[in-house]
Amino acid sequence: MKVRKRIDRLDLELSRLEKLHVQDAAKLLNVSEMTVRRDLRQRDAGDPMLVGGYIVADPARHQGKSYLVTEAGTHNKEVKQSLAEYCVTMVSDGQTLFLDCGSTTEEIAHLIPDDISVTVICNALNIVLRLCHKKNCKIYMTGGEFNSDNLLFNSAGSSILDDFRPDLAFISTAGIDIEHGVTCHNISEVSDKRKALKSAQQKVLVCDSSKLGHAATAYIAEIDDFDILVTNHIADNKLAETLKKHIHTLEI
């Protein structure tokens, strides 16, 4: 049985169960627990996910909201992987990172090499699931109320980010616009993004080119609050010139 068929079989089983222990999943599929874990590391958006020792259905799969991070992960997937590959080259052994919620930052988490030691501060379930199998990765979560729309733990008031000074902060965005600045879809994301911008030594804004020239609902910061923009292509000449004046742009 191939990986895709095994994941589909788990999905079918979870249509009648709330959760499934990895050991029981291995028996169901007649494979080792290691194989089950390895399969789920290759999951696509909407597939079952591993939380601790249990497999659960994707909590955002059937939500009918305006933005779902699990659906966003299927858009421009190859571009996002390329952006993430570049971002990972910026990461060095011993560093502390902030990884924002989002589908591109999830790819960054996935691609962090297993053999380097890093500390990662994050605020979203999809990021934790990509990191939890990396033995040399120490994870801190900001905590708070869980939002199934963007898989974010929304911390009210003080946050663990107040106690860290990350070497790198990778911030996601839904829009970069000359007039409206850097924006996102959910107001619940803004607090941690701003705290990371305030505390990190280097602030990296990462997004695919579909976000350029657009503005979303929630305001994050001005363009020049970031040090680096990692994107794939800037088609708008006016926006490109503006960005060059305020931020070092890396087009992948």
Secondary structure in 3-state letters for the chain: CCHHHHHHHHHHHCCCCCEEEHHHHHHHHCCCHHHHHHHHHCCCCCCCEEECCEEECCCCCCCCCCCCHHHHCCCCHHHHHHHHHHHHCCCCCCCEEEECCCHHHHHHHHHCCCCCCEEEEECEHHHHHHHCCCCCEEEEECCCEEECCCCEEECCCCCHHHHCCCCEEEEECCEEECCCEEEECCHHHHHHHHHHHHHCCEEEEECCHHHECCCCCEEEECHHHCCEEEECCCCCHHHHHHHHHHCEEEEC
| 78 shares a domain with 51 | no
Q: Are both 97 and 40 inside the same structural domain?
A: no
- State which residues form the domain around 24: 3-56
Whether residue 103 is found in the same domain as residue 179: yes
Residue 186: the pLDDT is 87
Q: Are residues 103 and 199 in the same domain?
A: yes
Q: Please state whether 135 falls in left (phi above 0), alpha (psi between -120 and 50) or beta.
A: alpha
- For the chain, the farthest-separated pair of C-alpha atoms sits apart, in whole angstroms, at 58
In a domain? residue 26: yes
Q: Is the pTM of this model over 0.95?
A: no
Does 236 reside within a domain?
yes
The closest of 45, 69, 44 to 150, measured between CA atoms, is 69
Instruction: Please check whether residue 223 is in contact with residue 247, taking contact to mean a CB–CB distance below 8 angstroms.
Output: yes
Residues 217 and 123 in one domain: yes
Is there a single domain that holds both residue 87 and residue 23?
A: no
45, 157: one domain: no
Same domain, 195 and 245: yes
92 located within any domain: yes
Domain end (from 12, 28, 56): 56
Beta bridge partners, 182, equal 176, 221
Q: Within a domain: residue 217?
A: yes
The Cα-based distances of 230 to 55, 80, 136, 205 in angstroms read: 34, 10, 26, 6
Query: 122 with 217, same domain?
Result: yes
Compute CA distances 227 → 171, 192, 222, 231, whole Å.
Answer: 11, 18, 11, 13
Domain annotation covers residue 61:
no
Residue 44 within a domain: yes
Return the CATH number at 241: 3.40.50.1360
Give the tokens for residue 163.
Answer: 């106690």
86 lies in some domain:
yes
Q: Tokens representing 153? A: 């733990």
Per-residue pLDDT of the chain (252 residues; tens, 9 = 90+): 689 889 988 988 887 777 889 999 999 999 999 999 999 988 887 889 988 788 988 765 544 444 455 555 556 789 999 999 999 999 999 999 999 998 899 999 999 999 999 999 999 988 998 898 899 999 999 887 877 667 788 776 778 899 999 999 999 999 999 999 999 988 889 999 999 999 999 999 999 999 999 999 899 999 999 999 999 999 889 999 999 899 999 998
Residues 175 and 80 in one domain: yes
Are residue 113 and residue 176 in the same domain, yes or no?
yes
The answer to whether residues 21 and 101 belong to one domain is no
Residue 64 lies in a domain: no
What total of structural domains would you count in the chain?
A: 2
Q: Which pLDDT score, from 0 to 100, does residue 65 have?
A: 43
